Chains A and B, each alone.
Chain A
């Protein structure tokens, strides 16, 4: 088997086309800048005597049109490469670009389906639908969805296991064939080359999307719950509570992020149990949030409280206890009771030893290292969210509908959660998107310094860190995860920008 080329069988036809388009684009950009420096402008529309408007293109317009069509040509060539990769059977014909494109087939199908359905029904979908009126927002949404689908279909896309080592392929360049692949039932190529240990760079990047996209959104969500639960009363009620919480928030904000990470995310801290205490404080706030949310609304309807609010909060509380303290009250009560009945005989002892070793049924099994990463990211993000929420509440609480609710005799928590919060959703949704991106960057920083992550983990930050040691000689291992991280964060930022523009329109 031979080394793959980048462009495969389509290369001889499409490469010159792409190169030409890039040259045309660059020339047009230079011309355009030159012409606008000289003072030439786009041509004005001409109003004809019969009230029609016609348009005579000047040199600036021609340069702009050339730029536009050059972009279209490059995009069309990229699409052709991917289609070629999917349609052609042999890997030599696909090339690396085609091969990678073909591996992403489930993502392309899911993306096309999402876009077709969303654009078809965009008038009925509220703010989400309006996003599809905005080019920037659409590009951002596309990038974000690309990585979300990649994370979902990761096992189908990845060609090898994330930690499978083939030592003969150490630091090999993209497109290297795997020796004896057919005999071992492996994918025949390392599409984007091998890293310093001989693992497949492409598969690690794909599996890394899973790692990044499971932690970042959840951490951001928790930061928002914490920030909202503290920010609403601080802004609405003010007073001592506000002063205290604002001081604490400023304290956390004055801490340089990197120092905080280095102090918090160490094995010694995990050993000392600090993450559990912090998680105990931070994770109870969402439970309180849900309870107050439901209670303030359905206070006068005991049946809803009894059948919805209490079970939901109870379940959350169980998850909280199980996750943070590894404590299951049912098992604890049952074993204590049986142990009490059997005092003085071996059953009692057996009960208490089982209780120690028992993993709670309800509760997310999360190990100390991951918990500290999660907690510190929430801890760093929530003061900023708190400040945003507090500022929004200070603004909204002077509105008429809040005064109306006060006159109606609604309680403060009802006003905060059901009058103020829904009306603050626009800026909060925009900030949520931005903040997921920021959290992704933070997680990457942690991975880059090797803090709190498993060294084998394919997460993008640690892959970049591993790759940087031999960077000047072997450029290919850190580049895919770096570009992946950048495109995901860029997508989130563009999405936030699009959402902001669209939500400002009405």
Chain B
């Protein structure tokens, strides 16, 4: 088991290195740097000025060296200009060059400077991650139990009317991406001219003009039922169908197993067969699916945060990408990549741990 985890960790580290390098490469292409120079310096700079600007800030050196600096395994560049002032990657504005550290990269905890929010990346991204953490946590708390219940109810009697109804529901939910369900939810529950709200307001059953709030901006300070239900529902609905289908398949397989038949022939009641005999084994496969669903949620989170104006991690990613905020985008990618790899690792270890056939051998 120890060796297994070690090997998984090794592969994970290699993957993380490869992925961050790819992101680094794609964000540091020539046109991106030119755009950076023009937005940071002067938009009417000539080509020579652009290349001078980039050279002064260390952008013209080989890609691998700059990747090493960014990672914190190569010493940061320093440069003495014509006046004898020393500038360098690790020398912040107003800092004495002698005191500056040699290495300043991700490994040292220096994530760089965000050009859009005009602040250190590490100061910005923490708060954003907390906001997204709330969104994901509540979505998970809604999605997973609902999906498991739907899957188990559908899988316990394969082919029954209940199974057909619930399976159709889960197929429909996998066919409804967030940007469709979000739009439909807003129209149904949060539009002042369409859906249910005008009718409810006319009857005086709700206080405001709409039933739920179509924007979650206020949820960043204070999460309430009215401003957080729609985004959570939107994320939960799309992810639910897939987990429910996997649970159903796993449950249906377990229900045909020999020991279930034995329990039946012994005269155990159907309720006890499902709850005591089938459930535990049927939940091993969905565990992996649930863990692997987290990276999937990331796309959903980005869409939902854009749609509902909730300034979390996904929104930051969109802003960074569309405004060529290179360091911020790189940090966002690190977070995303690590979330993905960590969930993969947990799902692998958890699968081995949960499944006695693998654990004991």
Contacts and interface: CB of A to CB of B under 8 A. Distances in A.
B272 interface: no
A244 to B, nearest CB: 12
A494 B193 contact: no
B175 A437 contact: yes
Contacts of A448: 179, 303
Given A256-B298, A263-B23, A493 B179 contact: no
Interface stretch (B24-32, B79-87, B143-151): B24-32
Interface in B32-59: 32, 35
B195 interface: yes
A263 B177 CA distance: 21
A266 interface: yes
B91 interface: no
Contacts of A262: 317-318, 321-322, 329
Interface in B165-214: 167-168, 171-172, 174-177, 179-180, 183-184, 186-187, 190-195, 210, 214
A227 interface: no
Interface stretch (A154-162, A330-338, A471-479): A471-479
B107 interface: no
Interface stretch (B122-130, B257-265, B335-343): B335-343
B30 A479 contact: no
B214 A471 contact: yes
A268 B32 contact: yes
Contacts, number: 138
Contacts of A492: 175
Interface in A204-258: 247, 250-251, 254-258
A34 B184 CA distance: 29
7 tightest Cβ-Cβ pairs between the two chains A and B: A475-B194, A268-B31, A262-B321, A490-B175, A489-B175, A258-B299, A475-B187
B192 A256 contact: no
B140 to A, nearest CB: 17
Contacts of A272: 29-31
A444 B179 contact: yes
B137 interface: no
B23 to A, nearest CB: 6
Contacts of A441: 177
B15 interface: yes
A254 B340 contact: yes
Contact of B177 (A258, A445, A473, A483): A445
Given A250-B15, A464-B180, A489-B175, A256 B31 contact: no
Contacts of B142: none
Nearest to A248: B18
B344 interface: yes
Given A254-B19, A258-B317, A486-B176, A473 B192 contact: yes
Nearest to A484: B180
B333 interface: yes
Interface in B282-332: 295, 298-299, 302-303, 306-307, 314, 317-318, 321-322, 324, 329, 332
A497 B171 contact: yes
B222 to A, nearest CB: 21
B184 A482 contact: yes
A478 B183 contact: yes
A257 B314 CA distance: 12
Contacts of A490: 171-172, 175-176
A494 B186 CA distance: 26
B180 A257 contact: no
Nearest to A262: B321
Q: Which of A467, A472, A494 gathers the greatest number of chain B CB atoms within 10 Å?
A: A472
Given A263-B27, A464-B180, A468-B307, A473 B193 contact: yes
A269 B191 contact: no
A274 interface: yes
Contacts of A274: 26, 29
A259 interface: yes
A265 B174 CA distance: 25
A96 interface: no
Interface string B11-25: 000010011001100
Contacts of A476: 194
A259 B317 contact: yes
B19 A494 contact: no
Interface in A254-289: 254-259, 262-264, 266-269, 271-272, 274
A256 B26 CA distance: 15
Contacts of A256: 295, 298-299, 336-337, 340
Contacts of A251: 15, 18-19
22 contacts: A254-B15, A256-B298, A258-B302, A259-B23, A259-B317, A259-B332, A259-B333, A262-B318, A262-B322, A269-B31, A274-B26, A437-B175, A445-B303, A464-B180, A465-B179, A471-B186, A471-B187, A471-B191, A471-B214, A472-B210, A473-B192, A475-B194
Q: Which of B30, B303, B321, B337 gathers the greatest number of chain A CB atoms within 10 Å?
A: B321
Contacts of B183: 464, 467-468, 471, 478-479, 482
Nearest to A267: B31
Nearest to B336: A256
Contacts of A269: 26, 29, 31
A271 B31 contact: yes
A493 B195 contact: no
A492 B177 CA distance: 14
B129 to A, nearest CB: 14
A264 B27 CA distance: 9
Contacts of A473: 191-193
Interface string A94-114: 000000000000000000000
Contacts of B26: 263-264, 269, 274
A478 B344 CA distance: 37
Contacts of A363: none
Nearest to B30: A272
A472 B192 contact: yes
A381 B35 CA distance: 31
B344 A254 contact: yes
Given A254-B341, A259-B336, A482-B184, A475 B193 contact: yes
B270 to A, nearest CB: 12
Q: Which of A254, A256, A267, A471 gathers the greatest number of chain B CB atoms within 10 Å?
A: A256
Given A255-B337, A257-B299, A485 B180 contact: yes
Given A268-B32, A445-B303, A490-B175, 16 more contacts: A254-B295, A254-B340, A255-B19, A256-B295, A258-B317, A259-B333, A268-B31, A272-B29, A444-B180, A445-B299, A449-B318, A471-B191, A472-B210, A482-B184, A490-B172, A492-B175
Contacts of B35: 268
Contacts of A467: 183
B8 to A, nearest CB: 12
Interface string B78-119: 000000000000000000000000000000000000000000
